[in-house]
Amino acid sequence: MIDPFELPMETGKRLRLRRIFRREKTIIVPMDHAIYYGPIEALQDPRELVRRMAAGGADGILIPPGTLPRVVDVVGPMAILLRLDGTVSRLGAHLELTSRIRAVEQAAALGADAVVLNVYVGTDNEDSLLRKLGETADACRQCGLLLVGEMIPAPLLNAHYGKGPDGLSPERRAEYIGVAARIGAEIGADILKINYSGTPDSFRPVTRNALRPALVAGGVKSGTPLEFLRSVRDALDAGAAGICAGRNLWDRPNVDGLLGALYKVVHGDASVEEAVAELE
């Protein structure tokens, strides 16, 4: 795994990095889904959910600017990663159209530790998305904020948003993810949020060549909690620096138990078999 503290960074970025990586690895809980999906039952009470995530040991939340004021007094020591762009809604037909809708300076004023952008590599408009990433990297450097590039290759875009399987082998999936991840690092992302390819052997070259700490996206809710934990364990063993999981965590019946199990896997280096006791 790439040590985030070995990367050359300005003081502001380094201080904020300590909040995200309070421990060797990190658990980030995204709650930005309503920007695309609209109302989601599990996110009806973001304040209570954030309180539970803080109590359960999550290291940070990924949240939209409009929701942050509602949860600021229950965040505790968790880092704040602020979603800075927005796709069209699920009612639209163009997933690839995602623009920055808030300024980096506003994120700094709100107290964010990092800002997050979606960047789709391989779409017809990838030039404008990569320009968005580069311009935001410059602004983050001025403000001392970290930049998280959520780098999604075009062949995985529909699957990422739950519109259908990508039909790819783990090896081909890893090839596409690897291209997107390296481009994100080269343009200026400090941390990468990327898809998991499906197997440790295929994912290991991705993390090795990413040049930045890579957080694995939890993806659409699928399988059982046990299968989710197993994929997290495999991704960590293949060099991931942490997990950024939303629907596969808070859209489950036993949210607190699953967070406890996830904590054991990520921060306790536990096997899935050792961690699963938390679910019981």
pLDDT in tens, 53-65: 999 999 999 999 9
- The band of 83, judged by pLDDT with boundaries at 50, 70 and 90, is very high
As a residue count, the chain comes to: 280
pLDDT at position 96 = 85
pLDDT in tens, 180-229: 999 999 999 999 999 999 999 999 999 999 999 999 998 877 789 999 99
Strands 98-100 and 85-87: antiparallel
CA distances from 46 to 26, 31, 80 (A): 21, 8, 14
d(CA 73, CA 47): 9
* Total structural domains within the chain: 1
- The band of 164, judged by pLDDT with boundaries at 50, 70 and 90, is confident
Element (H, E) at 131: helix 126-143
pLDDT at position 233 = 97
256 has pLDDT over 90:
yes
Counting residues of the chain whose pLDDT is more than 90, the rounded percentage is 80
- The band of 36, judged by pLDDT with boundaries at 50, 70 and 90, is confident
Q: Which residue has the higher pLDDT, 163 or 192?
A: 192
92 has pLDDT over 90:
no
pLDDT in tens, 2-32: 888 888 888 999 999 999 999 999 999 999 9
Decide if 262 contacts 252 (C-beta within 8 A): no
Is residue 133 classed exposed, middle or buried when 0-12, 13-18 and 19+ CB atoms within 10 A define those classes? Answer: buried
Decide if 118 contacts 150 (C-beta within 8 A): yes
The DSSP secondary-structure symbol of 118 reads E
Its domain, for residue 224, covers 4-279
Provide CB contacts within 8 A for 200, sequence distance 6+: 234, 235, 237, 238
pLDDT in tens, 132-142: 999 999 999 99
Say what the pTM is: 0.95
CATH classification of the domain holding 49: 3.20.20.70
